[in-house]
Amino acid sequence: MLVFVVMALMVCSVSDSSRLLNDPESQHRRNLLGNGLGATPPMGWNSWNHFHFGINETMIQETADALVSTGLSKLGYTYANIDDGWGEMTRDDNGNLVPHRTKFPSGIKALADYVHGKGLKLGIYSDAGYFTCGTKMAGSLGHEEQDAKTFASWGVDYLKYDNCHNDGTKPVDRYPVMTRALMKAGRPIYFSLCEGGDMHPALWGYQVGNSWRTTDDIRDRWESMISKADINEVYANYARPGGWNDPDMLEVGNGGMTKNEYVVHFSLWAISKAPLIIGCDVRNMTEDTKEILSNAEVIAVNQDPLGIQGKKVRNGNLEVWAGPLSGYSVAVVLLNKYSYRRAPVTALWEDIGLDPSTVVQARDLWEHKTLERQFVGSLTATLEPHSCKMYVLKPVA
């Protein structure tokens, strides 16, 4: 009798899942974009956080050179992304977007060729409204197909799509128009939704783009950085390969935080499976900046193929963040948010998803060493103000 029940359940679940797989409507919903990009969070550089409008083709070329010569591209930072300010204010007589005549005199196609020649990819910026946010150059609302074709013809690989000066309709109506336009344009283009978090894009972004901003713009300050990480964390369950929560680009190296604070910034972005888009001048990095951005062990947590966003499992001024990795390992960040006192922070196995009896080896990702003793049940570290420790815990067989 029991056997029959179990078999009936099995039959039921098999036919359920095959119905789902064959249902064209759900297939369509899953694969609307279907560009195969973003299997892990994107890595690269963007001009906005450091340069704002002060961009031109020379400095983008020099940035591409620096991404290669510093070794950053080998670590995975392959997108060189131009933000707002690359174009003329108005379209040409045929309605096409026009690269800025003095800042980008050779045009975007020539720049894409240059960047591709370095083994990198080129990103560009537009807006799901009539004008862009900063320079108020022409946006793409109502010109989606034309602009997607233009970007594809230039060899663009990534589109950051902002949300200013729109007609007041819902982003969930405007963004998919560009999704479909990119699909038709004949070139895989990573689609980065910069809706700003107003309409909870985590709830609908996966069907529309490869990542979605969960917050407004980051500033190069501890409080801003922490608040973006916190807002982004709320949506952790919605992130997965092909679609990521985006708490905005990195400020590491821009000078507004201490080294320890930038280590916290990079650690939280990595465990949150956030896009790692550098926002400083990579042509002129300090050794500290380079060391933080080049931490291959922290990058490996971000790029883990399982693609599960870490969560905050202990709240307050002494926090614990954790998330599973492939190979039964767990990534952990212990964080002291106090500005004025040292304090011990403890990760309890029951909080971070390990059985209490599990014995682990702990790898300290910032010290680059495996701790000599093994741990069972908990791990404690004493932390300086505004600083963190990041570990990978690996169960010992």
Ligand X SMILES: *[C@@H]1O[C@H](CO)[C@@H](O)[C@H](O)[C@H]1NC(C)=O
For ligand X, give the closer residue by CB, 65 or 216.
Answer: 65
Q: CB-wise, 19 or 52, nearer to ligand X?
A: 52
CB 317, min distance to ligand X, A: 31
249 contacts 275 by C-beta, under 8 angstroms: yes
The residue to which tokens 């602009």 are assigned: 147
Of the listed 65, 113, 217, 230, which one is catalytic?
Answer: 217
Alpha helices of the chain — where are they, by DSSP H? 2-22, 24-30, 48-51, 57-69, 107-117, 144-154, 171-184, 222-233, 259-271, 287-293, 296-302, 349-352
Q: Is 77 exposed, middle or buried (0-12, 13-18, 19+ CB in 10 A)?
A: buried
Choose between 56 and 179: whose C-beta lies nearer to ligand X. Answer: 56
User: Which of 127, 147, 157, 162 is labelled catalytic?
Assistant: 162
The least CB distance from residue 283 to ligand X, in Å, is 7
Name which of 37 and 59 has its Cβ closer to ligand X. 59
Cα 277 from Cα 24, distance rounded (Å): 35
Comparison of 108 and 362: residue with beta carbon closer to ligand X: 108
Please list, residue by residue across 150-165, b when 16 or more beta carbons sit within 10 angstroms of its beta carbon and e when fewer do. Answer: bbbebbbbbbbbbbbe
Cα 64 versus chain centre, distance: 20
Sign of CA dihedral 284, 290, 293, 299: positive
Q: For the CB of residue 56, give the shortest distance to ligand X in the complex, in Å.
A: 4
Helices (H), 70-156: 107-117, 144-154
Residue ranges in contact with ligand X by CB under 6 A? 51, 54, 56, 58-59, 281, 284, 286
Distance CA 113, CA 93 (A): 26
CB of 98 to ligand X, least distance (A): 18
Quote the least distance from Cβ 259 to ligand X, whole Å: 12
217 is catalytic: yes
Active site residue 23: no
Indicate which residues carry an active-site annotation.
162, 217
